[in-house]
Amino acid sequence: MAAELIFQPVAQLSALLETAKISSVELLQAFVARTKAVDGRVKAFNSFDEPGALALALAADERRAQGRARGPLDGIPVGFKDVIAVEGQPLTCSSKMLANYVSPYDATATTNLKAAGMIPWGRLNMDEFAMGSSTENSAFGPTSNPWDLSRVPGGSSGGAAAAVAAGEAPASLGSDTGGSIRQPAALCGIVGLKPTYGLVSRYGLAAFASSLDQIGTFAHTVEDAALLLGAVAGHDQRDSTSFATPVPDYRAELKQRTGPWRLGVPREFFGAGLDPEVGAAVRQAIEFYRRSGCEIREVSMPFTAEYAVAAYYIIATAECSSNLARYDGMRYGHRSAAATNAVDLYFKSRAEGFGEEVKRRIILGTYVLSSGYYDAYYLRAQKVRTLIRDEFMRVFQECDALLSPTSPTAAFKIGEKVSDPLAMYLNDIYTIGVNLAGLPGISVPCGFTGGGLPIGLQVIGQPFQESALLAIARAYEQGHDWHTKHPVL
């Protein structure tokens, strides 16, 4: 039975729990056994608390026995990217800087999932402080792609994607600053949802770039993504960027909305740099929508295509420089034992605690914020950001959503791009604009390369129109079986 459970969608597991065909304890034990069997090779987890999770599973079973189940998510394990706070569990951001830090509180997203009865199941590896596209920038070492252990799972939420793809968790929470949910979802062959900025509270999410970061979900199906989004979304007074908007029943609405839709295809997203196999798979997905009665419109987004990456790496690094200034060796986090005075403590603690990619971004961000350069770089990048959002809004006047590749290539070899930061940054060329504009986006599996590596289709939606976005993505998923394919480990 355990082998049959590990790749079941959350919705199916919920039905099995509701009909008492399995217990929450049995379900958790299946994922514990799977994790112990394969994670030595995948390395998706930084840590997990088996006794604590088991106690919560027992409590969930008791609630069901007494008729007090908290809903469809009650008793189901969920993994957390190691950047989202869970009280009493490590919060390392996969960095030496926070190697021994234990969170004293829950993130709002964590509180919401616990209220729904979900069981926090482990801390998942990531690029340090969410800075990277391959999960190679981790103090815990790289995570491997379950489809090919010699390749990356994407990043920065690589552990969260790999855990679901490998059957180590039925779902997980990650964060997306420039594609960090959608890109690893594409490379690992699962569903990854980045909601509209402000729909999910960022309280308890360790900050990288505050105006870009957003918590989202990984799952096997679009329906599962809708279930989890419904649990974590909602206004939160503790987050000043949280938007007060109604939270519908996403699961119900995605089934009610059937199209046809007007779907835009940005021609610039199919140019140089796109792997031919990836491009062919995405074009076939677009043709599916056309055959289904959708109106497919080619649109032009030259500004986004040309300037999004440059604007992003100015804005994100500037905010990173500001946010990471708090890690000074004095209040919490790594404290150098070799320092001889206060200034020495600051320099040595940061030099020892941060990895190379984080240092690179702090240096760049500090430079663009410095006197004499602020207007030339940061202020100009913010103006470009406004133009990029305006370009999306213009296109949305004639389209309900946009279709594009999620990533320009399938998963690449571990170590292949680590010495070329620019090549690494370009992995997010199709996803970054969504974050700059604050839009929702989702990646769904749409095929495999000849070498058996997953390919992702990205659907980009209008602000706070997650129900439509999910319905469009599900329409493709329902017509194909890519989401039912799983790696053999």
Has residue 276 been placed in a domain?
yes
Convert the pLDDT of each residue in 23-49 to its tens digit. Answer: 999 999 999 999 999 999 999 999 999
Which pLDDT score is estimated for 215?
Answer: 98
Percent of the chain residues past pLDDT 70, beyond the cut: 99
Has residue 385 been placed in a domain?
no
Q: Taking 90 as the threshold, does the pLDDT of residue 133 lie above it?
A: yes
Q: How many residues does the chain have?
A: 489
Has residue 250 been placed in a domain?
yes
Which pLDDT score is estimated for 371?
Answer: 86
If you ran DSSP here, which 8-state letter would residue 144 be given? P
Which pLDDT score is estimated for 153?
Answer: 98
Nearest to 458, CA basis, from 251, 279, 308, 258: 279
Q: Taking 70 as the threshold, does the pLDDT of residue 2 lie above it?
A: no
Mean pLDDT of the chain: 96
Using the CB atoms, write b or e for 268-286: b if 16+ within 10 Å: bbbeeebeebbbebbeebb
Query: What does the angle CA 36 – CA 78 – CA 55 come to, to the nearest 5 degrees?
Result: 75
Whole-angstrom distance between the N-terminal and C-terminal Cα of the chain? 18
Q: Which helix (H) or strand (E) holds 59?
A: helix 50-65
Query: What does the angle CA 363 – CA 364 – CA 370 come to, to the nearest 5 degrees?
Result: 85
Count of structural domains within the chain = 1
Convert the pLDDT of each residue in 226-260 to its tens digit. Answer: 999 999 999 999 999 999 999 999 999 998 998 89
Distance, in Å, from the CA atom of 291 to the CA atom of 294, rounded to the nearest integer, reads 7
DSSP secondary structure letters along 395-418? HHTT-SEEEEESSSSSPPBTTSST
Has residue 334 been placed in a domain?
no
Q: How many CB atoms lie within 10 A of CB 305?
A: 19
Has residue 376 been placed in a domain?
no
Whole-prediction pTM value? 0.97
Q: How far, in Å, are 123, 215, 235, 278, 434 from residue 182 at the CA level?
A: 19, 12, 23, 15, 11
Has residue 124 been placed in a domain?
yes
Q: Which residues contact 235 (CB under 8 A, 6 or more apart)?
A: 201, 242, 243, 244, 245
How confident is residue 420, by pLDDT bands cut at 50, 70 and 90? Answer: confident
Convert the pLDDT of each residue in 307-330 to its tens digit. Answer: 999 999 999 999 999 999 999 999
Has residue 188 been placed in a domain?
yes
Has residue 324 been placed in a domain?
no
Angle, nearest 10°, between helix axes 24-42 and 50-65?
150
User: Domain of 110?
Assistant: 2-299+394-484
Q: Taking 90 as the threshold, does the pLDDT of residue 385 lie above it?
A: yes
Distance, in Å, from the CA atom of 260 to the CA atom of 293, rounded to the nearest integer, reads 6
Percent of the chain residues past pLDDT 90, beyond the cut: 95
Question: Taking residues 412-434, what's their average pLDDT?
Answer: 92
Q: Taking 60 as the threshold, does the pLDDT of residue 195 lie above it?
A: yes
Q: How many CB atoms lie within 10 A of CB 26?
A: 16
If you ran DSSP here, which 8-state letter would residue 378 be given? I
* CA 217 to chain CA centroid, nearest Å: 6
Which pLDDT score is estimated for 259?
Answer: 86
Which pLDDT score is estimated for 421?
Answer: 83
DSSP secondary structure letters along 263-324? EEEEGGGGSTT--HHHHHHHHHHHHHHHHTTPEEEEE--HHHHHHHHHHHHHHHHHHHHHHG
Q: What is the CATH number of the domain that holds 441?
A: 3.90.1300.10
Which pLDDT score is estimated for 67?
Answer: 96
Catalytic site positions: 81, 156, 180
Backbone angles phi, psi at 448, to 5 degrees: -140, 155
Q: Per the omega criterion (within 30 degrees of 0), is the bond before 184 cis?
A: no
How many Cα atoms sit within 13 Å of 128 on the Cβ side?
Answer: 22
Q: Which residues contact 462 (CB under 8 A, 6 or more apart)?
A: 396, 400, 401, 439, 440, 468, 469
